Amino acid sequence: MCRNIKTLYNFEPPTTHDEIRNASLQFVRKVSGFTKPSKANEEPFNRAVDDVSTVIHELLHSLVTNAPPRDREVVAAKHRAKSAARFGRVPAEHNHPAEHTHSADHTH
């Protein structure tokens, strides 16, 4: 599965139309192999994005669950931590330049 496509179901606040559209675009890009289609392929590409968006919207509104909605910020924090562990980077909100300054008497 494409890593850029994220779970959209059962979140608070609910998934937006833009999030559905972006996921649809990523999916169609992955399937077609086009980041930006040629003029000749632009209409079927855009139609596919529209169709996928419609299906995702219908799917998300048809699903039922007894689970409480997931908090977007909590899920995002977990993804940032997982990414930092995987790639050895500190997430941006934890990277404080002031903590990495050198003292005046330190020479290189």
Instruction: Summarize pLDDT for 1-40 with one digit per residue, the tens.
Output: 456 678 889 988 899 999 999 999 999 999 999 999 999 9
Instruction: Summarize pLDDT for 66-102 with one digit per residue, the tens.
Output: 999 998 888 888 888 988 888 886 555 555 444 444 4
Task: Give the amino acid at 20.
Answer: I
Local structure of 12: helix, strand or coil: strand
Q: How far apart are CA 53 and CA 5, in angstroms?
A: 13
Q: How far apart are CA 75 and CA 25, in angstroms?
A: 22
Q: How far apart are CA 25 and CA 10, in angstroms?
A: 21
The confidence score (pLDDT) of residue 10 equals: 92
Question: Is the whole-model pTM more than 0.85?
Answer: no
- First-to-last alpha carbon distance for the chain, in angstroms, is 47
Local structure of 50: helix, strand or coil: helix
φ, ψ (nearest 5 deg) of residue 7: -60, 135
β-bridge mates for residue 12, sequence order: 71
* For range 47-62, the mean pLDDT: 97
Both tokens of 68, joined, read 């409480």
